[in-house]
A and B are shown apart, each in its own frame.
Chain A
Amino acid sequence: MSKVRRIVTGFSVVLLTAPAVVILSMFSYSAFYYFKYKVFLDSTFLAKQIFNSQPFVIYYAVLMVFLLFSLVFTIGKIKNIGIVLSHAAVILIIGSSMAASEKGHEVIGRLFGVEKIPTGEIVIYKGQTEDKVWVTPEKQKPLPFAIRLVNLRIEFYHPGVLHIRNLEGKYWQMPAEPNAAQYLDPNTGMVQVLNVFKNFKVKTENDKTSAYDSPDGGSNPAVRISYTSPRGAVVKKYIYAKFQNPVLPDDKIYIDYIIDVKDYFSYIEILVDGKVAASGIVEVNRPFSFGGYHFYQKGYDTQTENFTVLGMVSDTGLKPFYVGCIGLMAGVSWHFWFRHLFAKRKKAEESDAH
């Protein structure tokens, strides 16, 4: 190994270890802060501040230089293909991340005159159209198109589940299905499900109130349960999925009605000059792309299911990032695995020939 190459490799050890030491120090500081002030620091926020700070921008630049150096030393030799590929891939990944950042968008805008919004959030009500994006919690920017939320569909896991806890911390779980019963323990009693409502409402007729499952819009899942205490007293209660449920009297057990969301979909249309230019579905893990942006399913109105929250991210730097990912995986696995397998096979063939 040449002297210069040794120096570059030696510095690489320091460059690779430095962020790991920073991460360790950051969490050690968080732990110290907690033990001293009993307050948890937001480590994600802290990490963003540290790794996007000026010294780290310099670090990334130095790292890029060293990665380029490593390419100079290793390129041209067949046995180094994996090293070249993985180091070039890391350059692509860091470069594409820099391009995708806010500063990267600013620089690209100044150099090439391409004005793009790096990231933002769009809140759209059912049937409504939105042509602005929230780039910060206080600031909106206009979009070069408008988005209409045609429909919002939410799928739940059925049946829901009742989570039951007593004051001793004992825990039971039962399906929220009509007639389902759960014997707790001799000191806690029994719970039975009487009715299940998808959209619980109450009506009054002839001075008599009664609960019913409303076919109208909205969602208010609830169950009516019967709780039998160890002393034989029976209490009937409604347990709601979206509201705080009381502690059942005397025996003090807590019951929560949990209906997990399976998936949610926003059916959207993109309007350019008032005309539909594209339409599609935004789902978690399946973003929708249009006009150099990707739209992600970020959230929805959990109470009335009337609006959706879409994340909007510019696609700047995305292709080089994916190429970098593939290059890194290919380079590392070639260098550490496949080249040895090929060498082994070649050696075996050579010894067979002899």
Chain B
Amino acid sequence: MHIKDTILGLLIYFAMGLYLLAFIATLVRLRKIGKLLFMIGFVAALGAWIFRWYLVRHIPLQNLFEVFLFLGLAVYPLSIFCLRALRTGGFAADMLIGAIVLFPAGFIFSEVPMHLPPALQSWLFVPHVLVYMLSYILMTKAAFQAFLQLDNYKNNPAANLIDNEEATYRLVCAGFPLMTAGLVLGSIWAKLAWGDWWGWDPKELWSLAGWLVFASYFHFRSLFGKKFSRINSLWAIAGFVIIVITLLWANLSRLFAGLHAYA
């Protein structure tokens, strides 16, 4: 763990701090201030990401530092989208999620710029990573709603939000096509770069496992509806656990050495 004493590092810490303050403000019922701080935090995270883009001269989604920085900025727009379009809750939790995903970018992963290796110089690089990251945020939000459902948490009726089980389902519905697009784009890219659309690489296997778990979630839910709502929630949480393994463990552990090692 190391502190980054650069402009980029300071922007990340500023965004993190604002996200945390926004979370605390919302907890103490200063909702409007919380919303404002969340938005300013997003602007800071966006600024950090654009500055990184300027520094490395390519869209910064290459390594875990850049990916977590992107996750930190994408939380806010997705949170607004989910609140308005899907009517799902968890707005305050999103502020905390924003701070949590910025933490590895701020304190753990190295910000040393890296050149793009030949395999990453493809038009598929950005869409492949982008759709995966957006789907991961939506699935994280879904897992949070699933936790609330297991905890029998009830939304404030005045907030006009759907119940937690339905919210989990809607969020998984929103994230699953993105996850599918990530898998498909990755396969097409692998075909163009390496000649084989499936390499049995650990990251590929875990991302397939995640996709399969969410696909079986849909089948289970179409079979039983809300009859076993707690199992539905556990299914969504299992999918989230696999996402964490795919995103972090598959990259960091020598147990999973493979084609995605550069990430």
Residues of A that sit less than 8 Å from B by CB:
1, 6, 9-10, 12-13, 16-17, 19-20, 23-24, 26-27, 30-31, 34, 40, 43-44, 47-48, 51, 97, 119, 157, 171, 173, 260-264, 283-287, 294, 296-298, 311-313, 318, 321-322, 325, 328-329, 332-333, 336-337
> In the complex, how many angstroms separate the beta carbon of B25 from the nearest chain A beta carbon?
33
Q: Please, which residue of chain A has its CB at the minimum distance from the CB of B215? A: A16
Does chain A have a CB within 8 A of B205? Answer: yes
Q: Is the CB of A30 within 8 A of B255?
A: yes
Q: Please, which residue of chain B has its CB at the minimum distance from the CB of A26? A: B205
A48, A286, A325: most-surrounded residue (chain B CB, <10 A): A325
> In the complex, how many angstroms separate the beta carbon of B126 from the nearest chain A beta carbon?
13
Q: Give per-residue flags for B188-217: 1 if the beta carbon is below 8 A from chain A beta carbons, else 0.
A: 110111111111111001101110110110
Q: Is the CB of B202 within 8 A of A27?
A: yes
Residues in B with CB closer than 8 Å to A157 are 115
What is the CA–CA distance of A284 and B125 in the complex, to the nearest angstrom?
A: 13
- Size class of the B contact interface (CB-based, 8 Å): 35 or more
Does chain A have a CB within 8 A of B77? Answer: no
Does chain A have a CB within 8 A of B174? Answer: yes
Q: A263-B121, A333-B177 are contacts. A17–B213 as well, Cβ < 8 Å?
A: yes
Tally A-B pairs: CB < 8 A.
Answer: 132
What is the CA–CA distance of A61 and B122 in the complex, to the nearest angstrom?
A: 35
Residues in A with CB closer than 8 Å to B255 are 27, 30-31, 34, 40, 43
Residues in A with CB closer than 8 Å to B209 are 19-20, 23-24
Partner pick for A13 among B118, B177, B223, CB 8 A cutoff:
B223
Q: Is the CB of B256 within 8 A of A261?
A: no
Partner pick for B194 among A24, A30, A97, A311, CB 8 A cutoff:
A311
> In the complex, how many angstroms separate the beta carbon of B193 from the nearest chain A beta carbon?
5
Does chain A have a CB within 8 A of B156? Answer: no
Q: Please, which residue of chain B has its CB at the minimum distance from the CB of A327? A: B184
Question: Chain A: interface secondary structure?
Answer: helix
Partner pick for B180 among A40, A262, A332, CB 8 A cutoff:
A332
Q: Could you list 16 examples of A-B contacts with CB < 8 Å? A: A16-B212, A20-B242, A23-B206, A24-B209, A27-B256, A31-B255, A44-B202, A119-B196, A262-B118, A285-B118, A285-B121, A285-B122, A285-B193, A286-B192, A321-B191, A336-B176
Q: What are the nearest 4 A-B pairs in CB distance? A: A16-B216, A284-B118, A47-B200, A260-B115
What is the CA–CA distance of A26 and B209 in the complex, to the nearest angstrom?
A: 12
Q: Is the CB of A17 within 8 A of B177?
A: no
Q: A285-B119, A285-B192 are contacts. A43–B219 as well, Cβ < 8 Å?
A: no
> In the complex, how many angstroms separate the beta carbon of B211 from the nearest chain A beta carbon?
9
Q: Is the CB of A40 within 8 A of B257?
A: yes
B195, B197, B222, B256: most-surrounded residue (chain A CB, <10 A): B195
Partner pick for B254 among A40, A298, A318, CB 8 A cutoff:
A40
Partner pick for B212 among A19, A264, A298, CB 8 A cutoff:
A19
Residues in B with CB closer than 8 Å to A261 are 117-118
Residues in A with CB closer than 8 Å to B109 are none
Residues in A with CB closer than 8 Å to B206 are 23, 27
